[in-house]
Structure 1
Amino acid sequence: MTFTHRLFTTGLSTLSFLALSTAFATATAVASPTTTDTAPGVPPSLAATDPTIGAPADDPFYTPPAFIPAIPGSLIRDQFAPHLLAGFAAVDRKDAPSTPARADRILYTTTAQNGSPVATSGFVMEPARPWTGEGPTPTIVFAPGTRGAGDYCAPSRAGNLFASTDMAAGSINVNYEYPFYAMASAAGYRVVVTDYIGLGTPGQHTYVNHTEEAHAVLDAARAGLAFAGAVADSPVALFGYSQGGGATAGAAELAASYAPELNLKGVFAGAPPANLQDVTDTVDGSMGGNVLGFALNGAIARNPELAGLADMYFNDEGKAFLAETADQCTFTIDTSTPDLSEIDPTDPMASMMFDSRELTTDGRSFGEIIREDADLRGVLMGPDYRLGDRPVDVPMFILGGTNDDTIPYGQTRQLAADYCASGASVTFLTDGSPAVLPGTGLGHAVHKANHTLQALDWLGDRFTGVEAASTCGG
């Protein structure tokens, strides 16, 4: 089925392209036993709610073994990964000389929201030049922005870690943040990128589930340091924007309790989705409505009380929307012929905007259903998805834009205030850039393009011991 709002696939496709083009312009573990015959290494609690988590991946590297390490952050396996910055001539042996910025895919253990160990993937990129500062080489863990929900969309699965296309599935994997990884590597930092849970590995990706994303980020740091043979107290920082900003903010909230041994120096969280009620209301009516499908599918996969959600509220087109977005990438290829009869010639842009009311049985919007359904609201506004209710004890750099057409500025500013109230050191930056084609996602992308170098410099100052200037109270 083809939806009118997919004429431009998802609004984040445009967002991603702008971020990419602008970036180029500017720059021994305890084994857990097999728990089921169909889901090697997967606890029954996960397999029961998400049967796809036990299916093998299309690439054997991403299929978890029958026994996975139970300790979070444990390495399961690694694999050489050619990529653009290093060229394609590096020797495929860990003990052999390699070019600068060598990259390797990693499969490692992290933790689902219910405490179950689960395998996830990512990659490690070594510095393109030696670290010249004091102490061990710093590591920046990047939490990716929205890539979609399908395994093919994972950053580590992109061809040469940059871009590839699955024509049969109609999926395009564009690693649009690759230039930022290259910048960090060129500055002498080790780069670690997580694919998150279920993005690359079997199972539904739990999009904007900040608990699972935070675990994946923090365990990527552990696994990346272990893979590199780095000393335990090597300095670490986190970088994320949009979905990634929510992941790094969640990691900042959970670091002290989940990964207290990490030497975490600073966290950049750009435009983090802190309140999904507000985000839903903002994205509905834009080109980026497919992200609501990503989020709902992930929530259903982890919360049995939501199992009947689709039958209760969605019409046939809505059910098709959920099925389609369960394994869709941000970039897609739609070869079907658009239904031009659905386009209003007097306002063609409005015809391309997502409208969730067309997908529900009674014409209510997704936002209205969230407000009125106690179970759904309890999940999406609960501790696994909401940010700001837990204190942080690491310096934060939070970025928000007054004309962000995806993540409302008010919730970003409120998150900074909440962290300030908890005693954290917060640098809050407002981007006042004018609106750019509201509803297309460009007003969300521009702020990242404007301030990525500033964010990397801010993290660099944390590595060199410069005290962060807090705007709390100012």
Structure 2
Amino acid sequence: MGLRRLLTCVVAGTTMAAAGLVAAPSATAAPLLCLSTDEGIYTSPGTITGKPGDLISCRPTALPQIPGGVRMKAWKIKYVSTDVKGAKIAVSGFVAIPDAAWTGGGSRPTVAFTPGTLGSGSQCALSKQMAGEQVDSYEARNLQKFLEAGYAVAASDGVGYMNGQVHTYTVGLNAGHAVLDAVRASRQIPGGSLRSDSKVGITGYSEGGFNSLWAAQLASSYAPELNVVGAAAGGVPGDLKLVAERLNGSAFAGFLADAVVGLSAAHPEMPFNELLNDRGRQAVEDVRSNCLFGTLGAFAFQKLENFSTDRLTLAQIYALRGSNGVSWGEVIDAQKVGVGIGTGSSGARYRIGFPVYQYRGALEEIIPHEAEDGTRERYCQAGITTQWRTYAGEHLTTDWLAAGDVTDWLGDRFTGKPATGNC
């Protein structure tokens, strides 16, 4: 079933659940045992100590939403990461390790997984949904394939799913840091079996594709100790300005609403709240309360101009400047994927010393082809080995159509098979 048909089914049935505020402890310490409460996983410490990737707390969990009956050990985790301002933050996620012995040689590899858009409400976090609080996640069968192949999964929920926060949707540095730090944290679980020398493959689709390529770009500088051997990313909204033009006023304007609220949460120095009219203030609450299909239903065919007192257009918003003198346009441009990249031996700002697999749907109806194709072209021009494929699906079904190929492509990287590009 396509995303448009699914949207039609849920427009009238939005999911509302406001995040509760919980008193936070004043400090963090590495756990000796995984004894956190479930509420504790999603409560940010008042003071965050330790290094990026340090495990703050964990608890054993089951992942009943992942089909196939794969026997595994799984934990919810809370760990230290770094936000776009360089501050230490707490991020949630989960780790799953198959019970079956790894027979592929060397240490069991890890798939660093980051989901597609799930929504900004606290109940939407992937770790909550896979543990049984299912809302409308669509990633379970992708996770099943990785686990059936024998790979461990370190999955970041992403920044902003702690109680009282809002997800910082489409903020590249936040996303990339959180993905890499989840892998670091996965190796510190008491009773876990993952080793520091294991190979890592990064993957995700849609928002997850955006997050994955940002993690790929940051890996050599932010987490050089990780042995990342490849990144697979599909449906990548690599140019947010192109994407915003497509989404504004469309059936899928909810994605734009998530991005506006998420970017403003990450950049409080930028003008935002003072621009809103009553509809705009309600819109922010809708974003903060809903998961994917609830947000899409609430914002279908809405234009951004409807939510500000001066009916500001995208171009007018881009021209506005924050207290630091930076414009909203510059903030958005800073999220563009594939800018400043180069090979591992280059002097580029973001050095990528491993191959990438990128893909999109031929019937893509949400993200402009120019945004996805442009991301691929920037990788090719930078000399990074890039394999590209187009699938015969629209946005949602392409995620599922590509799942087997993504698993196999990562498997080839884990076994050391040379990658080929088709730029």
Instruction: Give the TM interval when normalised to the shorter protein.
Output: 0.7 to 0.9
- Provide, for residues 53-112 of structure 1, a one-character-per-residue CA deviation record: whole Å limited to 9, x for no partner: xxxx9923321334533201111111111222799x9xxxxxxxxx93121101110101
Does 2:372 correspond to 1:408?
no
Aligned residue runs from structure 1 range 206-217, under 5 A: 206-217=168-179
Determine if contact 1:161/1:175 at 8 Å carries over to the other structure: no
Identify the residue that residue 116 of structure 1 maps to in structure 2: 87
TM-score, with structure 1 as normaliser = 0.74
Does 2:177 correspond to 1:225?
no
- Aligned letter for 1:299? L
- Out of 369, 394, 419, the residue aligned to residue 316 of structure 2 is 369
- Aligned letter for 1:463? F
- Out of 428, 441, 446, the residue aligned to residue 397 of structure 2 is 446
- Provide, for residues 267-306 of structure 1, a one-character-per-residue CA deviation record: whole Å limited to 9, x for no partner: 0111111111111111123222122222222222232332
- What SS does structure 2 have at the residue aligned with 1:191? strand
- Aligned letter for 1:151? S
Identify the residue that residue 467 of structure 1 maps to in structure 2: 418
- What SS does structure 2 have at the residue aligned with 1:198? coil
Cα distance change, pair 460–16 in 1 and its aligned pair in 2 (3 A): farther
Determine if contact 2:112/2:200 at 8 Å carries over to the other structure: yes
- Residues in 1 aligned to 2:66 and 2:215: alpha-carbon distance in whole angstroms: 30
Aligned residue runs from structure 1 range 67-466, under 5 A: 67-84=47-64, 100-158=71-129, 161-164=131-134, 173-227=135-189, 228-306=192-270, 308-312=271-275, 314-332=276-294, 353-365=301-313, 367-373=314-320, 375-382=327-334, 385-391=335-341, 392-433=352-393, 443-466=394-417
Cα distance change, pair 334–61 in 1 and its aligned pair in 2 (3 A): same
Determine if contact 1:100/1:128 at 8 Å carries over to the other structure: yes
Cα distance change, pair 108–398 in 1 and its aligned pair in 2 (3 A): same
- Residues in 2 aligned to 1:419 and 1:86: alpha-carbon distance in whole angstroms: 33
**Displacement, 1:448?**
1.3
- Residues in 1 aligned to 2:204 and 2:254: alpha-carbon distance in whole angstroms: 21
**Displacement, 1:453?**
1.0
Does 2:16 correspond to 1:65?
no
- Aligned letter for 2:120? A
- Residues in 2 aligned to 1:62 and 1:267: alpha-carbon distance in whole angstroms: 28
Determine if contact 2:158/2:167 at 8 Å carries over to the other structure: yes
- Residues in 2 aligned to 1:330 and 1:378: alpha-carbon distance in whole angstroms: 27
Aligned-pair RMSD on alpha carbons? 3.0
- Residues in 2 aligned to 1:180 and 1:153: alpha-carbon distance in whole angstroms: 18
- Aligned letter for 2:78? L
- Residues in 2 aligned to 1:416 and 1:206: alpha-carbon distance in whole angstroms: 24
Cα distance change, pair 128–390 in 1 and its aligned pair in 2 (3 A): farther
Determine if contact 1:79/1:105 at 8 Å carries over to the other structure: yes
Identify the residue that residue 19 of structure 2 maps to in structure 1: none
For these two proteins, the number of residue pairs brought into alignment is: 383
**Displacement, 1:257?**
0.2
**Displacement, 1:457?**
0.8
Cα distance change, pair 316–370 in 1 and its aligned pair in 2 (3 A): same
**Displacement, 1:361?**
3.5
Determine if contact 1:282/1:407 at 8 Å carries over to the other structure: yes
Identify the residue that residue 94 of structure 1 maps to in structure 2: none
- What SS does structure 1 have at the residue aligned with 2:41? helix
Higher CA-based Rg: 1
Identify the residue that residue 344 of structure 2 maps to in structure 1: none
**Displacement, 1:142?**
0.8
- Residues in 2 aligned to 1:234 and 1:286: alpha-carbon distance in whole angstroms: 44
- Residues in 2 aligned to 1:361 and 1:206: alpha-carbon distance in whole angstroms: 24
Cα distance change, pair 195–201 in 1 and its aligned pair in 2 (3 A): farther
- Aligned letter for 1:381? D
**Displacement, 1:415?**
1.1
Cα distance change, pair 449–100 in 1 and its aligned pair in 2 (3 A): closer
- Provide, for residues 434-472 of structure 1, a one-character-per-residue CA deviation record: whole Å limited to 9, x for no partner: xxxxxxxxx311221221111111111111111111112
- Provide, for residues 394-438 of structure 1, a one-character-per-residue CA deviation record: whole Å limited to 9, x for no partner: 2100112343122211121111121122221111112354xxxxx
Cα distance change, pair 133–399 in 1 and its aligned pair in 2 (3 A): same
- Residues in 2 aligned to 1:78 and 1:258: alpha-carbon distance in whole angstroms: 23
- Residues in 2 aligned to 1:298 and 1:151: alpha-carbon distance in whole angstroms: 13
Identify the residue that residue 348 of structure 1 maps to in structure 2: none
- What SS does structure 2 have at the residue aligned with 1:251? helix
**Displacement, 1:130?**
2.5
- Aligned letter for 2:40? P
- Aligned letter for 1:451? A
- Provide, for residues 246-269 of structure 1, a one-character-per-residue CA deviation record: whole Å limited to 9, x for no partner: 000000110000000101011011
- Residues in 2 aligned to 1:260 and 1:247: alpha-carbon distance in whole angstroms: 18
TM-score, with structure 2 as normaliser = 0.82
Using the TM superposition, name which of 246-255 and 351-360 deviates more: 351-360
Cα distance change, pair 356–60 in 1 and its aligned pair in 2 (3 A): same
Cα distance change, pair 333–296 in 1 and its aligned pair in 2 (3 A): closer
- Aligned letter for 2:332? L
- Aligned letter for 1:141? A
Gaps of 5+ in 2: 11-22, 29-36, 322-326, 342-351
Cα distance change, pair 409–309 in 1 and its aligned pair in 2 (3 A): same
Determine if contact 1:11/1:286 at 8 Å carries over to the other structure: no
